[in-house]
């Protein structure tokens, strides 16, 4: 069976262009009713106009789909609540939220103004928090929800000049980890998508031939899987140029060293063992770290 969104209602933020537009169009093509949100600002977040969202709505409707436009800033919780109410008034439910809205204010950390750091955190992290909070009770009541956070390799692995963006994007992974645990009882599945795509956000950052290979459309299949009825939860899917990977936050087996004055020196000497990745695990909750540590400590004390 194919992935089908008939009867489902989706909200896609930052959907006036680039990757968000492709997400909205793809969901609509497969039957979803889509609220297309876009502030219509520049790449750095300045300005605003609902015309970009209106254009995507017109495109969806021309193809026979159902869509409405919204120009709320995801940084304004009251406006986000009104956006969600707009979807509820139109269609009576919200099944899918794709947190895609974002801006860039790239500079090396030494040269970065703290206001630019805070703004990027506010849009990416708090924007996703606002939208997720506004749909959470609705999804819990209907016992169904699919939430996609847009993370980035810049957060997972770092990228020069993007300390603000990377910090925000990695924070979204932490948000996903806990929300997936809390949402499980109500079939709210929360995942992260780490896209590599040529959009307005990446203009000037990559050679033209690379940008041609990284069309946004190639990322969309990963979003559709994460938003689908059969979606996983707590998964970080990476996608770009038709290739799909998964990223994981792992924990090594570690080494028990006990307590005492010489432990720092012992840790230095055995750091290669501590960081050895053979047998590493993907913890199911934060408690796994403590369990591993206490277990080794108990075993170590018995052998002392």
Establish whether 157 is a catalytic residue.
no
CB 99 within 8 A of CB 13: yes
Sheet holding 188-195, edge to edge: 67-70, 33-37, 9-12, 96-99, 145-150, 188-195, 236-240, 243-247
CB 36 within 8 A of CB 15: yes
Cα of first residue to Cα of last residue in the chain, in angstroms, is: 58
**CA separation for the pair 147, 264 (Å, rounded):** 43
Residues 144, 157, 165, 256: which is the catalytic one? 165
Cα–Cα distances in angstroms (integers) from residue 93 to residues 139, 145, 187, in the given order:
8, 10, 15
CB 19 within 8 A of CB 43: no
Enzyme catalytic residues:
165
């Amino acid at each position: 069976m194919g992935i089908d969104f008939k009867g489902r209602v989706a909200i896609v933020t930052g959907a006036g262009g680039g990757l968000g537009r492709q997400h909205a169009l793809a969901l609509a093509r497969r039957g979803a009713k889509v609220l297309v949100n876009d502030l219509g600002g520049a790449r750095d977040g300045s300005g605003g106009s609902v015309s970009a969202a209106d254009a995507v709505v017109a495109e969806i409707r021309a193809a026979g789909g159902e869509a409405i436009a919204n120009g709320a800033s995801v940084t304004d919780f009251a406006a986000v609540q009104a956006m969600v109410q707009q979807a509820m008034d139109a269609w009576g439910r919200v099944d899918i939220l794709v947190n895609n809205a974002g801006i860039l204010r790239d500079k090396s950390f030494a040269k970065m103004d703290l206001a630019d750091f805070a703004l990027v955190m506010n849009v990416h992290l708090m924007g996703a928090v606002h939208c997720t909070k506004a749909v959470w009770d609705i999804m819990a009541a209907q016992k169904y929800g699919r939430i996609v956070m847009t993370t980035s390799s810049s957060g997972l692995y770092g990228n020069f000049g993007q300390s603000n963006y990377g910090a925000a994007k990695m924070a979204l992974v932490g948000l996903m980890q806990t929300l997936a645990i809390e949402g499980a009882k109500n079939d709210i599945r929360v995942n992260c998508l780490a896209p590599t795509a040529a959009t307005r956000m990446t203009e000037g950052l990559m050679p033209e031939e690379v940008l041609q290979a990284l069309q946004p459309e190639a990322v969309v299949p990963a979003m559709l899987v994460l938003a689908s009825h059969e979606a996983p939860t707590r998964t970080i899917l990476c996608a770009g140029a038709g290739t799909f990977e998964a990223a994981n936050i792992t924990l090594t087996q570690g080494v028990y060293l006990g307590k005492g004055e010489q432990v720092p020196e012992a840790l230095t000497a055995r750091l290669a063992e501590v960081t050895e990745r053979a047998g590493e695990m993907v913890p199911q909750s934060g408690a796994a770290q403590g369990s591993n540590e206490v277990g080794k400590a108990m075993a170590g004390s018995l052998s002392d």
